[in-house]
Chain A
Amino acid sequence: MLVIKDLHANVAGKEILKGVNLEIHAGEVHAIMGPNGSGKSTLAKVLAGHPLVEITKGSISYEGKDLTAFAPEERALQGIFMAFQYPVEIPGVNNAGFLRMAYNAKRKKHGLSELDPIEFDNVLQAKIKMVEIPEQFLDRAVNHGFSGGEKKRNEILQMAVLEPKLAVLDETDSGLDIDALRSVAEGVNRLKRSDNAMILVTHYQRLLDYIIPDFVHILLGGRIVKSGDKSLALEVEKKGYDWLQ
């Protein structure tokens, strides 16, 4: 599904990614771990097409196509979803309306008719039940005045609605207390399917107690220095990152 080869990328002129190689297949969950400044978030952003990340070398192939040729909105329409570490607040824009815009953009892309608010509400009701999100979320403005935990859960709701093929969760666990973490993780687990894949970018092992990864990669200094299974995450938890340097 996704093949990253020797990826180098700059942020504000500074090289952050220094030759990342990664291969992901449908049905897999990959965790990317690493200390602050290792390039985790940059890797997530580069997949979503963030304008501040500049690719200087290497390739990203998604479903056999050159991903870097696509604008961010096109990537989203092709099934890539990024759950943001810091979801932005959009005052005055109704959450349900926002979800409908995104959902309809995708339907349009697939040549389907757009849903009106009433039709879409049926879709939405099923989704909020699936990821156990209170209905009041829908009437609020997108992330506006949401607590940290609510923002993260709202990301998961968007993910549920958009049903991405490849979801990149950027530090979705950060700033969550244990109950919120569990609820977010349960939501994510329910969205796992054999035809989609997930990348969990995280600092800590604890998220991986709830969402079990098939692969764990350690990102250090802009490179993946070690890959393994879940046990690698536990090892890092115990020993820190220094021994990998």
Chain B
Amino acid sequence: MSNEAIKQFADREYKYGFKTDIALAKFVKGLSEDTIRIISHHKKEPEFMLEFRLDAYRRWLKMKEPHWPEAEYAPIDYQNVIYYAEPKQATEKPKSLDEVDPELLRTFEKLGISLMEQKKLAGVAVDAIFDSVSVGTTFKGKLKEAGVIFCSFSEAVQEYPELIKKYLGTVVPVTDNFFAALNSAVFTDGSFVFVPKGVRSPMELSSYFRINTEGSGQFERTLIICEDNAYVSYLEGCTAPKFDTNQLHAAVVELVAMDNAEIKYSTVQNWFAGDPKTGKGGIFNFVTKRGKCQGKNSKISWTQVETGSAITWKYPSCLLMGDNSVGEFYSVALTNGKQQADTGTKMIHVGKNTRSTIIAKGISVGHSNNNYRGLVQIGKNADGARNYTQCDSLLVGSHCNANTFPYHDIQNPTAQIEHEASTSKISEDQLFYFLSRGIGQEDAMTSIISGFCKDVFKELPGEFAVEATQLLGLKLEGATG
């Protein structure tokens, strides 16, 4: 009986798998210095940006693709990736959302993201990115009044080159890793946020990433800077159509928090996971995300709900430089079908009295493989540093796999480190308990899993907590209690 429930549960369809038929104005396949020059040219970038890219590319050529994560995949042919795909627009560059191709707007509408003036999510500004290009950003004016800059990365390169020049690559250096170097060479678009001294962003900021074109990669680049005493909460969501081929998503996200600043970065990732039975297709989500708590008393908080992608490989991390700075990582990773996830965080304690919290919840369903990998490093001078880590794995069915790989590197004797880990299965007894109260199998399963994730969901900003539960419910169809 419960095996049946598990099977039904594991076999659910990906409902964002539709493709938008939209003409591409430009696209570039294959990787070379020319590719990079073309991207840079299309983006009308200043010279320093092109130099940054070419430098990254030349370094990347000398690097080797790493294979240490717990994931297996066929070699990636980097010459067979579309590095730049720009949807055709009615006008050269839409001045406002009214000029954006209605087909694009409808695509986002279908995804539940309305960019239209009258239907915009109240209190949330959205930047929508379709393949390599930002389609538009809502509430820009209102944010600007408050002093907050929120725009596409491409726009920022042109409008605020000095800020880009100052911060780009300062948290994730070009040579940090193979995929970060690749991203630095060919990144296309993403979001840029700048919150000046003393400003609290008056609304939630949100980016929505959509990969539409078959064979295209999405190399997004996001940079968020909070000056002294500033605050921002940012959420990203991602989906892609169903294709038989794998698509590469190699993003880099950099966060900088100055004195007393706070950045809350939330991700709801639901890229196409590949065919649940054959494992064919799906996104390779190879992402480098890192935040630098540069100032004293600063705080960076990562919350991620990872439900999609054929392979997820990411470790949103915090560099705790400033004294008393705080890093947090709250993660739910759900794998189903043949999905593989190797995800976790790094908390690098440099400053004194720095604190970090890691709560990671892994749920494995079907034949999937779900791994937590995390590093807690306490530097020599990080007196009084503290870390609390809790890793819980939940197995659904008996064909899936969960592992925990905690690494500790402690160089200061005053450090206080706590680590708790658990692995459990959804028990027959738990399921039967729901059934015996008249609650159906699907609702029971969703409820048990949501309950398991509660500590993480409560970290998501207000309305997104509901949205994430619903998004998670793509795989866990049905209401949650």
**Contact B1 A101, beta carbon cutoff 8 Å:** no
Tell which of A84, A90, A91, A109 touches B438, judged by Cβ atoms closer than 8 Å.
Answer: A109
Q: How far is the CB of B3 from chain A (nearest CB, A)?
A: 10
**Contact B430 A88, beta carbon cutoff 8 Å:** yes
Q: Does B2 contact A (CB under 8 A)?
A: yes
Residues of A within 8 A of B428 (CB): 51-52
**Contact B454 A92, beta carbon cutoff 8 Å:** yes
Bound complex: CA of A100 vs CA of B434, how far in Å? 12
**Contact B1 A51, beta carbon cutoff 8 Å:** yes
**Contact B481 A88, beta carbon cutoff 8 Å:** no
Closest to B449 in A: A92
| Chain B 440-459 near chain A by CB (<8 Å), digits 1 or 0 | 11010001101111110000
Number of interface residues of B (CB under 8 A): 27
Q: Does A196 contact B (CB under 8 A)?
A: no
Q: Does B432 contact A (CB under 8 A)?
A: yes
Q: List 8 A-B contacts (CB under 8 A).
A: A48-B436, A51-B2, A73-B440, A76-B438, A90-B447, A90-B451, A93-B481, A101-B443
Q: Does B439 contact A (CB under 8 A)?
A: yes
**Contact B435 A84, beta carbon cutoff 8 Å:** no
Residues of B within 8 A of A76 (CB): 435-438
Most A Cβ at <10 Å: residue of B437, B455, B479, B481: B437
Residues of A within 8 A of B440 (CB): 73, 105
Bound complex: CA of A87 vs CA of B438, how far in Å? 16
The 7 closest A-B pairs by CB, nearest first: A92-B451, A76-B438, A93-B451, A92-B454, A97-B481, A102-B437, A72-B435
| Chain A 73-108 near chain B by CB (<8 Å), digits 1 or 0 | 101110001101001101111100110111001100
Residues of B within 8 A of A98 (CB): 437, 447, 481
Measuring CB to CB, which residues of chain B are less than 8 angstroms from any residue of chain A? 1-2, 427-430, 432-441, 443, 447-448, 450-455, 479, 481
Number of interface residues of A (CB under 8 A): 32
Q: How far is the CB of A109 from chain B (nearest CB, A)?
A: 7
Closest to A82 in B: B436
The DSSP consensus for interface residues of chain B is helix
Residues of A within 8 A of B452 (CB): 91-92
Q: How far is the CB of B201 from chain A (nearest CB, A)?
A: 30
Bound complex: CA of A88 vs CA of B479, how far in Å? 21
Q: How far is the CB of A78 from chain B (nearest CB, A)?
A: 9
Residues of A within 8 A of B441 (CB): 73
**Contact B455 A92, beta carbon cutoff 8 Å:** yes
Bound complex: CA of A228 vs CA of B74, how far in Å? 73
Residues of B within 8 A of A72 (CB): 432, 435-436
Residues of A within 8 A of B479 (CB): 101
Closest to A144 in B: B451
**Contact B438 A73, beta carbon cutoff 8 Å:** yes
Closest to A109 in B: B438
Tell which of A48, A51, A75, A101 touches B439, judged by Cβ atoms closer than 8 Å.
Answer: A101
Q: How far is the CB of B431 from chain A (nearest CB, A)?
A: 9
Q: How far is the CB of B450 from chain A (nearest CB, A)?
A: 7
**Contact A73 B435, beta carbon cutoff 8 Å:** yes
Q: How far is the CB of B468 from chain A (nearest CB, A)?
A: 14
**Contact A101 B481, beta carbon cutoff 8 Å:** yes
Q: How far is the CB of A31 from chain B (nearest CB, A)?
A: 21
Residues of A within 8 A of B1 (CB): 51, 71
Closest to B392 in A: A91
Q: Does A42 contact B (CB under 8 A)?
A: no
**Contact A102 B438, beta carbon cutoff 8 Å:** yes
Residues of A within 8 A of B427 (CB): 88
Bound complex: CA of A5 vs CA of B479, how far in Å? 39
